[in-house]
A and B are shown apart, each in its own frame.
Chain A
Amino acid sequence: MQSASPPLMRLTGITKAYPGVLANDAVDLSIRAGEIQALLGENGAGKSTLVKVMYGLLQADAGSVHWDGEAVTIGSPARARQLGIAMVFQHFSLFDALSVLENVALGTGLDADAELAERIVSVSERYGLPLDPNRSVYTLSVGERQRIEIVRCLLQEPRLLIMDEPTSVLTPVEVDTLFETLARLAAEGVAILYISHKLGEIRALCHSATILRGGRRVADADPARASADDLARLMMGDGVQLGAAGAGVLGTPANASTGRQAPCPSDAAGTVRLSTSGLDLAAGAPDALALRDITLSIAAGELVGIAGVAGNGQDELLAALAGERRAPNAEDVLLDGTAIGRSGPGERRRLGLCSVPEERLGHGAVPELSLSENVLLTAHHRAPVARGGPLLDRRAAKAFAQRIIEEFDVRCDGPDSVASSLSGGNLQKFIVGREILQAPGVLVISQPTWGVDAGAAATIHRALRALAADGVAVLLISQDLDELMALCDRIGALCAGRLSTFYATADVDVRQVGLLMGGAASLEAAA
């Protein structure tokens, strides 16, 4: 029945290039009325670019768009809405201090009167999205806020609803409610394009799936028939092709040609240096994730990897381990036997726990400050820069910066150059070097080669291996499976703030890690 009807929207040969990256490469996609279609792909696969083209936020360099069988140009979101296309974004655009009614009125251009309030109530009841139009947004949960966005879209009676990773911020119960709503909308003939990388959800909800990898459409799949396993393989490609899947920005590890390097000959029964047990951490902000029951342990000389798609709690995990967020109990985090759960980042560094956050500018380094001042940022806690008094040791900081520049081959104009003047790769080498040269006992490092050129990535990988060989416990949080598979002794995955079971890297393949990334708690559970 569905296959008989003509497509509601058809994209042909959509191509969109950004400087240095081909985000969409001749992508075709068509969606019919009443169909829930998944748009599946890893970060950087080109999903967001494609839907932005569909919603008029971006203009394609090449390709055509047909709506109801007629060629159209979608020059702006206003034009898209006029056609009947609505989009619910991953990040909400709501005013906290205003009421639900006022927010809806602002988004739709309608008057915030009793009539609109009535319409909100009737739409929200009809689709099982209970909303009180007079509540202030700041009193609402994240799931309720998302309802406002959805109701705002539904009031415009869309024919195509695009949802960008809608469940990344929802609790499981809220996810169930959302799925019921979407199924009802589809039954009424609304086409839904559902962007996600969570395989379980897609199999439960979607009628069809378009899979993007490296900016290209690589496959269509029937989610009901394909196993999560097949989908993971389609999404990530075979192990050897993974380097290409990262939109061309990820460096290939130095040893890619020789296959996986044997894990460094660490003492199998190395003493545990960093461990957490059942660590729970509430979400720090409305759009942040909560960490649940995080249990891990890393031994001296071990390189442990945590895979996962961005936004699944990586930032929160780094904050919890580095001390930026404190654990509920001191015993939740143990460093060399010392309970450090309640200690701040400075105390943890003094005890030997160094960290490198994902974001270089503004988190790992201050953009406006010089490199030698950026040395002081974290190194003032440890030798050789620490002075122990209220005064800064600028000379030591400068010498330390010079040492980092030399040992890590940081291309810059010397220790006085401003951090923001360095290229991403060079700044990353600098930040990684800053932590490594402090001789930590444990290093937690997040996305160390994201957006870094191949040469810098190779330097960083070599440094991490050498560090582990020296008996340091290294935790590597990364989205780059190739990197994790090449470097780590053990690997697990983070999904929606929960950690999977860890496996020896030698015992699992990329496909199996993909299952863990998709939310399987263990391979046994996924089988």
Chain B
Amino acid sequence: MMRLERRAVPSRVMVWGAPLIALGLTLLAGCALFALLGVPVLAALHAFFVEPLTSRYGLGELGVKAAPLVMIAVALSIGFRAQVWNIGAEGQLIAGAIAGGSVALALYEIEAWYVLPAMVLGGLAGGMAWAAVPAFLKVRFNANEILTSLMMSYIAVLLLSLLVSGPLRDPDGFNFPESRLFHDAALLPRPWSGTRLHAGAAVALLVVVAGWVLLSRTLLGFALRVHGQAPRAARHAGFRASSLVWFSLLAGGAMAGLAGLFEVAGPIGQLLPSISPGYGFTAIIVAFVGRLHPVGVLFAGLIMALSYLGGESAQITLGLPLAVTGVFQGMLLFFLLATDVLIRYRVRTGTRT
């Protein structure tokens, strides 16, 4: 008989061991999945996890995909530490893209240094505005931010498709629901030739460092952690719950909005009805796989980015459906949640003594 026994103190090894075990289990389950689909397992694994990393373009793409995930997940981690559950980063990302993209379209064909900074401000403001709604509802009416932030995401998706079919539609675009292509001054530079890697990757690294400093070195980060772990102690210390809720949601909104702006000003270059392969939702998985720690989030973001690339590569070389990507991401979170029990419990075999 296997059974679980509570540990006297939570295992420090397992805090980081659990994601690795979860990764291993995901690979095993993935192999089983490939075998069931009748695909040669080794070839599939190669296509999924190795092939994307063998080319310069592939490595660039890894950065392109990882940047928004890491940026958003670091900000979400800060909120999750405070038990503020912003599930609506996808909507905040889209709102940032709409706002920043609108700035680009409004300044169309203006060749000036301030175009990109103005777009960045637009992206930040859009994401924060979208996150401000759940924050206000939470602070004022104690409305559950999980529900409100998620519902705001659906509004953002529909708003984007409304705008690109209407006011922001390319006048010369044969009625396709797309905006104009942004002009050069409104596009992020691509410093590494042959790839689509853009400034977002550098920003993501800065966000990792900033997130780490915030959480471990500042009073605000301390307040967020205390609020999450012991709300009464936070009140005793004089930390205001409402400010922490506002900060958590606005930080998540700002980073998601910026990531959205980078998407449309970087790899995409225009506003489309669909601009994100679910980065905002995947970032939730990234945050948890990364143990809500900025450095952990960086590694988790790279792994998740690889799963996007691997899914595309498996689709091309083996004809597997793109849904494989979602399945892999879901399995990783599923196994992580399952193996997290090992932090507080140990597995014992044999009968109870």
Residues of A bordering B, CB below 8 Å = 322-324, 344-349, 355, 357, 359, 361-369, 373, 376-378, 380-381, 390-392, 394, 418, 421
Contact = CB atoms under 8 A, between A and B. Distances in A.
Nearest to B232: A363
How large, as a class, is the contact surface on chain B?
10 to 19
Given A355-B236, A390-B218, 19 more contacts: A322-B236, A344-B238, A344-B240, A345-B235, A345-B238, A363-B230, A365-B233, A366-B226, A367-B229, A367-B230, A376-B219, A377-B233, A377-B236, A378-B237, A380-B219, A391-B218, A392-B217, A392-B222, A418-B9
B210 interface: no
Given A363-B233, A365-B233, A366-B233, A323 B218 contact: no
A367 B34 CA distance: 45
Contacts of B229: 366-369
23 contacts: A323-B238, A324-B235, A344-B238, A345-B237, A345-B238, A346-B238, A348-B238, A362-B230, A363-B232, A363-B233, A363-B236, A364-B233, A366-B226, A366-B230, A366-B233, A368-B229, A369-B225, A377-B236, A380-B222, A390-B218, A392-B217, A392-B222, A421-B9
B202 interface: no
Contacts of B232: 359, 362-363
Interface in B210-268: 217-220, 222, 225-226, 229-230, 232-233, 235-238, 240
Nearest to A322: B236
B9 A324 contact: no
Nearest to A420: B9
B220 A346 contact: no
Nearest to A344: B238
Nearest to B213: A391
A377 B219 CA distance: 10
Interface string B300-328: 00000000000000000000000000000
A324 B236 contact: yes
7 A-B pairs with the lowest CB-CB distances in the bound complex, closest first: A346-B238, A345-B238, A366-B230, A363-B232, A362-B230, A377-B237, A324-B235
Contacts of A359: 232
B220 A364 contact: no
B237 A346 contact: yes
A79 B217 CA distance: 57
Contacts of A348: 238
Contacts of B219: 376, 380, 390-392
A135 B338 CA distance: 41
Contacts of A357: 236
B217 A391 contact: yes
Given A373-B222, A391-B218, A364 B237 contact: no
Contacts of B230: 361-363, 366-367
Given A391-B218, A392-B217, A369 B226 contact: yes
Contact of A345 (B222, B225, B236): B236
A53 B219 CA distance: 49
B227 to A, nearest CB: 10
Contacts of B235: 324, 345
B226 A377 contact: yes
A37 B78 CA distance: 56
Nearest to A418: B9
Nearest to B221: A392
B294 to A, nearest CB: 17
Contact of B238 (A347, A366, A369): A347
B236 A364 contact: yes
A162 to B, nearest CB: 31
A373 B237 CA distance: 12
Contacts of A323: 238
Contacts of A364: 233, 236
Q: Which of B9, B218, B219, B240 is packed against the most chain A CB atoms within 10 Å?
A: B219
A418 to B, nearest CB: 7
B233 A362 contact: yes
B224 to A, nearest CB: 12
A298 to B, nearest CB: 20
A355 B235 CA distance: 12
A376 B238 contact: no
A361 B233 CA distance: 8
Contacts of A376: 219, 222
A364 B218 CA distance: 21
A394 B238 CA distance: 19
A420 to B, nearest CB: 9
A356 B240 CA distance: 19
A349 B235 CA distance: 13
A522 B44 CA distance: 84
Given A363-B233, A367-B230, A381 B238 contact: yes
Contacts of B237: 345-346, 377-378, 380
A365 B218 CA distance: 19
A323 B218 CA distance: 23
Nearest to A318: B236
B177 to A, nearest CB: 42
Interface centre among A369, A377, A381, A392 (most CB of B within 10 A): A377
A345 B229 CA distance: 19
Contacts of A345: 235-238
A361 B230 CA distance: 9
Contacts of A363: 230, 232-233, 236
Residue of B217, B226, B232 with highest tally of chain A CB at under 10 A: B232
A188 B105 CA distance: 83
A390 B220 contact: yes
B164 to A, nearest CB: 41
A355 B218 CA distance: 24
A425 B346 CA distance: 29
A368 B81 CA distance: 13
Contacts of B220: 390
Nearest to B239: A346
A392 to B, nearest CB: 6
Contacts of A391: 217-219
A46 B240 CA distance: 39
B238 A349 contact: yes
Contacts of A378: 236-237
Nearest to B220: A390
A394 B237 CA distance: 17
A421 B7 CA distance: 13
A333 to B, nearest CB: 15
A392 B218 contact: yes
A319 to B, nearest CB: 8
